[in-house]
Structure 1
Amino acid sequence: MPEPEVAPDLLEFARRWAAALRGSGGAELETMVVRLAKEIGEQTVRGVDDRFTALYRDCPTAVVLTDPAGVVTAVNPAFLRLAGQADEGGVLGRHVSGVGAAEGDRAGLREALDELSAGSPVLDDIEIGGADDTTRRVRMSVTRLPDGAPVFMFEDMHELRLLQETFEYQSLHDSVTGLPNAAHFRSKLEAMTGTGTAEQIALLHLDIDGFKVVSDGLGTEAAELVLRGVAGALRTVFTDHGAFLARLYGDVFAVALRGELTSTTVVDLAERAIAELAKPVHVDDGIGVGVSASVGIVLADLPGPAHTDLMRSAEVALHRAKELGKAQWVLFDPAADQAARERYRLASAIAGAMAGGEMSVAYQPHVVLPDARIVTSLNAALRWDHPELGRLRSDVFYPLAETTGLTVPLGRYLLAEALRTTADWRARFGSDAPMVCLTLPQRMAIDGDLVGIVRAELDRNGLDPRHLMLCTDSPSLLDERGDLIESIGHLAGLGVLFILNVTGLTDLELVPALGVPAPAVMLVGAIVDVLDVDEPPEWARRNVRQLVERAEELGIKVGAYGVHSQEHAELLFALGVVVGSGPYVPEHVTREEAEVWIGRAYPMG
């Protein structure tokens, strides 16, 4: 009897089982058991076939079966969907290379068969063609089935490529405005400056004026609507010269232009942009928000400066534009740039100067007019003994300190040094020690912790608040970033005296209007300077006289800074000014020199 075609292990098992039972059923039983084993084997094979068929049919990966020559024998539904085929008719019986979209792809399929014949599986990326003339990028895997037939599997890369493109777009664009971001802009600018073409390139940096007010007042959503409106306005204006726009950060935008450009052309575009931005963008509740922009402009010939130099120059011009006020543009000027570099270099050295002992306090005597024989107080002011530039006044480096955030530390240093000197003088000279007056830099004057800072220094030096006199001015009083009026009220309640520096009658009226507890004011600026001539104009005399009369009504004494000569002092005294300081007495002296006047009249020589 021939042996059934079953697995050897299964057949051997059947024979052993039949031999064990031979005594019970004889040869017929052996035949039955062998037949049973064969049926079991056939069922197993059919089960494997069924599972493979289900996997082949339902697999999301496109599968193509071919004969050893590469002729397609079967495809699964996923391949039909991928290739845009309605049925197998357009594929079966054709060489598998025919599914390639282009000759290079078809050659890749033929090479895959050759490599497979050499015993190596194949993994490659190709494009396949569809029935509707579209192409799809796929990852191709080629291997053999157990019977040796080649099987091609194609994984659709289209969705992955779309996802990658989405990620790439998001990495290079701003999510709020849709404009390119800073990284994309720098890369583009580098490419624009790298061409050898002889033409011009222009770079504009635009900073939205007062955008924080929009954000804080209307909220984030409204602010983003405004930013999108800004982007739309810039797209409207910058359409030529290969314009490339970007949002660099926050409320700062940039535009790069290239071609035949002149300063007039670029400035005209900047002014058009400023005008376009003023048109309102309507946010929630129908509020129309119009904005303005400060614009820094740099224009250069190509080939020329590197993209990093252009970016820096545009930023310098933008800073200068913002210093001029709102809705201003500035065209980069190399000479101004050199001056700006020197200013920034000086600003960056302030912290080191404080730590290195280059800062000191000088004292300016305030004397009774007109003879200046009695010193009423000493005004303390910071001086910087710069190793290269010599002695610098505070009005030179205070504005620079604003850019580095060191204004408050400078003010605290001045306060600490002046009060330490005051405490020493009071310990040595008692009631003969003069009152020390100091003018705080504006940023410190508006600091919310001013009261705490002053009280801490007074306590540290064992001084009563009435031993300190603080000077301030109208810009500090009116600065919206702080509440100096409230601070003055607290400090005045403790006993600190306040003097207000005024430039005219308008400033004086702030005393009653704001309730400033100032027993005296000091005239500063043109109202004093205009009187320092041989024949002062009558209107100038009248201005001072009217201010003094109004001060007398308010019970306020009037002094003056900038007294240049004895004649100048006598004229001011005749107009009602009782205290003065300036070049006609030593303007600023050291602590040791100031001690010459303590307790006695100022020597006039």
Structure 2
Amino acid sequence: MHLSDHAGAAAPPHLLASVPDAVYHLDRSWRFTWLNAAAEVLLNRPADTVLGRTVLECIPDLRGTEFEAEARGAMEDGRPRVFEYLHRPRDRWFEVRASADATGLVVFVRDVDSRHRAQAAQAHALRQTTAVLDALPSPTVLLDRVGRIRSVNRGWAANDHLVREAGWEVAGIGDDYVARIAQGLVPDDLARIAGGLAELRVAPSGGPTRTFAADYSQRLADGTTWWRLQAAPVDETGQLVVTHTDISERVRDQQRLAWQATHDDLTGLPNRARLLELISEALADDAARPALLFLDVDGFKTINDSLGHEVGDELLRQVGARLAKQVRPGDAVGRLGGDQFVVLAHSCDTSEAASLAFRLQRSFARPFIAAGVSVPVSASIGVAVAQDGVRHAHQLLSDADAAGYEAKAAGRDRVHLFSPGLRDAARWRMDVATRLRDGALDQFVVHYQPVVRLDTGAVEGVEALLRWQHPERGLLAPDAFLSVAEETGQLIPITRWLLRETTRQAADWARQGLQLRMAVNISARHFSTETLVRDVRAALHASGLAAEQLMLELTETCVAEDPTRAEDQLAVLRGFGVRVAIDDFGTGWSSLAQLMALPIGTLKIDRSLITAAERLAAGGTGAVFGAIVELAHTMGIKSVAEGVETADHLRMVREAGCDSAQGYLLAHPMAAGDVERWAHRVEEGGGDSCAMALAGQLG
């Protein structure tokens, strides 16, 4: 510190001598009266060259600047001034503090150029970051190292009104991010997000870039929204950028698909897969003994054949709805498929189960009105109450099924209670089983239904449909005997015969120049015996048919019973060229995860889905069927529409993008010789079977 010799100079406090900031005193005439060593350095002059002289004499560049205005103001009104000042000749920023005293003005000057420029650089970087964030469509925030919001983009701010309407505080700059988003989150989601962000901040730098992602739901004013949070460190300072992608539509689609996978498309009731889950859950509860009621609509096939599928489908929907109204709260009604329904009653003894069955039976006394037609129907009901030791859903379902068969065999419109000896006492099924064991293979015949391409109308293959020429009951469809064949172990020999017969027929056609891919249905039982691969190889070798000309068709339910074993065997078959199709898609199990895991090349969409899509199209939601076809195409799977019976059906499946179709409009199932004649008629008519069918030339 240097003391002035100038008259009237005020002596500065000794405390200011060692202050690192430049400090000096001006009298009322703006003359230097004293200054410390830091001020000498700042002015680049020794004290004795400036003391007694005015500031503007020593530093003329201050004239007319903010510094002069602020300093004069402080001296005139006596109020301290604190301001930052850019000294342009040096291009440096200084922080100035000016305070008046009795004799003049004390001025503190601190060089803040580095700090000011660092802050300016940070502000510029933040503006650039904000501009980048604004370019992102998803709501995005930038967090500092302690988790406070530094910047938000337009997408984040766009949701402010929804947050306010929900009664919450809007998350803005400077707010604690986790504390703000806690509004509307369940505690588990909040804890998961807070922990993930905390781990990111302490992650060591220099290694691979770490990220954190979490899906969560949040209640907003317009309903629940699902978000996918994705966070990543910006740099080693601990700053994080957090984006929030709205996945609500995707989640709703997944929920919708999950619902469809566990529910029957026609009735909306739980399907077989879901029923087995519900039964398993009920059996696992030792405190509640469940009962299962197996209900079969009597004469439904006759109704379907005489009144049409539209009436039949509407009847099934009404049956499901009526059953749901009759059961007790907490009980479940589901559809196994076809005309078979199941009621799962909880905490039910035999007497209560029988009472419920008779109540359901009486509910059928009132006719159903389907498509304006009064349809009187009855129901055969089998009842099975879980006994000690029963732990498997399939076992209880089998017991109820056996009781249901007995009820129908007793004359229909009956209720029958399961008894342990019932399985061995099913006389009519045993009779069928005996005939099958005693050489009924010689009585089997195969009919073939053509499958045509929808783009050209060309015939590309046939589906083999097994029939039994029963000596007493006439020509029987598979549903009259295959279930018994499966139960008695005869299904595998029948399937082996069918594979041999159909591959031989396809090879004969090929030698005649008629190249038709042969589709043969395979059951779940064939997977469990693990002889499918060997049986298919043997049939192909014996017939000489190319593997590519054989397609194995499996129902959804069939695959669902043992998906792992099915996947393994199908992969082997697909490896040497045999094609695989999922048949009757939409009537049973529909797990997309399992569907994608299987080596399938074709999806055969069941007639019930076509009927449902036709009904939905009338309500303006016809895109549903197209979405199913598009889903198959996305997975590289071709689609075949089954049950095309009308011109409207054909138009709809074409517009949906289906690859192929089969159904009564195009061709009925027919004997092998009739197939040859039918194919020749198509060839002679120009090769477009679809156009010929629409013109009535194939009837």
TM-score range, shorter chain: 0.3 to 0.5
Q: Flag the structure with higher helix content.
A: 1
Larger radius of gyration: 1
| TM-score, normalised via structure 1 length | 0.46
